[in-house]
Amino acid sequence: MDKFIIQGGATLRGEITISGAKNSALPILAATLLVDGPSTLANVPNLADIRAQLDLLGDLGCDTRRDENGVLTAEVTSTDNSWATYDRVRKMRASISVLGPLLARRGYARVSMPGGCAIGSRPVDLHLRGLEALGAKIELDNGDIIASCDKLRGTEIFLGGAFGSTVLGTMNVLSAATLAEGTTVIESAACEPEVVDLVTYLNACGAKISGAGSPRITIEGVERLTGCDHTVIPDRIEAGTFLIAAAATKSDDLLIQNIHLRDMMALVDKLREVGIVVVPENNGTAARVVVPGEILPTDITTQPHPGFPTDVQAQMMVLLSLANGNSVLTEKIFPDRFLHVPELLRMGANIRKEGPTSIITGVDQLIGAPVMASDLRASAALVIAGLVARGETTIRRVYHIDRGYEHIETKLAACGATIRREKE
């Protein structure tokens, strides 16, 4: 098991290039189970979660390979096995995204209930409700979801839940609906850019989907999909993490490349509200930040896209821990997603948690300490905290961060951070 050791206090200079979006690549890889022939996918990041998904696809008869340039080709060569076992699926929640494609293409899927980060309950009831509406028969057996059908048929489906729209549920249902008979309308669909990216891929394969990026998506079923070439969008969460890291370390000479700033406006707006200047470059495909004065407090509530993303809540909490005043951060997507709070307290932050809300009183400085990563985004927050803290910070269990950030320590070290990876 690896750990990071960080000496705080450095400012970041140079360029960081953002990798492809994990949360796009995973469902797109799952969707290759729907198509005939090879799909060529560029900008797929080399992450632990991606490798786990490729292993799962291999079990399900999909051959995958990367060329010397990192471009990934995926093609179904066998349909003999449709069981996504617990040993595969327990590693990450996004494995559930194979359920809809397997059901639509093969008429049968057996998928273990998924695992992932310990950030609270994330039920899959909306996935199952949507697939049942399309005509699937759903059973539960020994921790597995068993879905079967003779033929899926288009219908109207409402996918709103207690905490808003379901991103993976929207992806699962629309993927299944591409091969359904007739027209499917998904109401209260997730609007995330990753949903749009999946739809872009499926339409390039021959699907007929409209409305992606809005709460109402319409799918006209087709008989067959054929593989295509596709480039995965940049990872807006990785981009947001580095924007916040630049702001926290007051680094005004760090250029963050390969981003879609238009997909990050809620975060950019909050950064500007706390006194950070975000300077777009190259028509919004790159940006740098400037911190002209003190960091100001603010109130933030996480929401489904285009609201403030839950996946940068922990990172933003580090920045607000350095603000001059009191901030309030409310988590509306995953109310239990505050396992990073005790670790930040160990580093001298002043945070009081009350239910789904944290009250953050800014301090002059964080202090380096041994801390433990609890989940993917909490890991990124602790890295930022280590960069700004006085002294040395040791972060254990960094396998979490390897699930969603491609060589984060290498990217930071190349820009002046004193960070290294060591074995425990």
Active site residues: 117
Q: Tell me the one-letter amino acid at 305.
A: H
What CA–CA distance (Å, rounded) separates 132 from 376?
A: 32
What CA–CA distance (Å, rounded) separates 419 from 19?
A: 20
What CA–CA distance (Å, rounded) separates 102 from 149?
A: 11
Residues contacting 22, CB < 8 A, separation 6+: 45, 47, 49, 50, 235, 237, 403, 404
What CA–CA distance (Å, rounded) separates 76 from 61?
A: 6
CA triple 365-368-374, angle to 5 deg = 110
What CA–CA distance (Å, rounded) separates 104 from 139?
A: 16
Q: Tell me the one-letter amino acid at 364.
A: D
Q: Can you say whether the dihedral through the CA atoms of 398, 51, 408, 233 is positive or negative?
A: negative
What CA–CA distance (Å, rounded) separates 184 from 369?
A: 53
Output helix, strand, coil percentages for the chain, rounded to the nearest 5: 35, 30, 40
Q: Is 415 helix (H, G, I), strand (E, B) or coil?
A: coil
Q: Is 153 helix (H, G, I), strand (E, B) or coil?
A: strand
Tokens, residue 376? 């993917």
